[in-house]
Each structure stands twice: as structure tokens, then as C-alpha cells.
Amino acid sequence: AFGPTITSFVQPEPVPNPQDFVLWSFFNSMFCNPFCLGFIALVFSVKARDKKIDQDPAAAGTYGRTAKHLNIAALCLGIVGTIIFIVLLAVY
């Protein structure tokens, strides 16, 4: 009357965890902050972390990518500005 019970388990695919770049944004806001890009990147990083906690990976990814692009721009402008400053200091 009773047969073996077959149980199947379907494991859901893991949702990729978007990055928020908070440490990089904090570094840029403290040491490499041309045109306040590092601070703006920090704001977007915190928004990305908040959305990650709220289980909204699409919005977290969007804010994270914006923070990443702002961090890249801040770092590049900071490095170029530092090189120009050193060259001008050496020339004069």
C-alpha cells in the first residue's frame, strides 16, 4: 500500500552579489578627492550597500557601477594632478 517516497530538491541558482566599493570610495574621499568625486562615490557606495541589504540586487548593481566609475575618475584625476604638481614643483 505504501511505496518509497521520492523527494526531489531543486536548488535555486545563486544570485550574484553586486559589489559596493565602500573602502575604495572611502580612500578616494580621504586622499584623492578632485571635484568631490570621491565623496560622491562614497554616497553611491553607501546607497549600493543599502540596496544590497534590502535584497534589491538590480539597484545595488546600478549604484555600485556608478560608484566604480566615479572612483576610477577620481583616482585618475588625482594621479594626474599629483604628477602635474610634482613636475611644476621640480621645474620651479
Statement: residue 92 has pLDDT above 80: yes
Find the distance separating the first CA and the last CA of the chain, reported in whole Å. 98
pTM: 0.80
Q: What pLDDT, on the 0 to 100 scale, is given for residue 1?
A: 61
Euclidean distance between CA atoms 88 and 31, whole angstroms: 20
Q: Which long-range contacts (CB under 8 A, 24 or more apart) does 42-49 make?
A: 42/67, 44/70, 45/20, 45/21, 46/20, 46/22, 48/18, 48/19, 48/20, 48/21, 49/20, 49/22
Q: For the segment 13-65, what is each residue's pLDDT rounded down to a tens digit?
A: 777 789 999 999 999 999 988 999 999 999 999 999 999 999 899 999 999 99
Euclidean distance between CA atoms 43 and 33, whole angstroms: 13
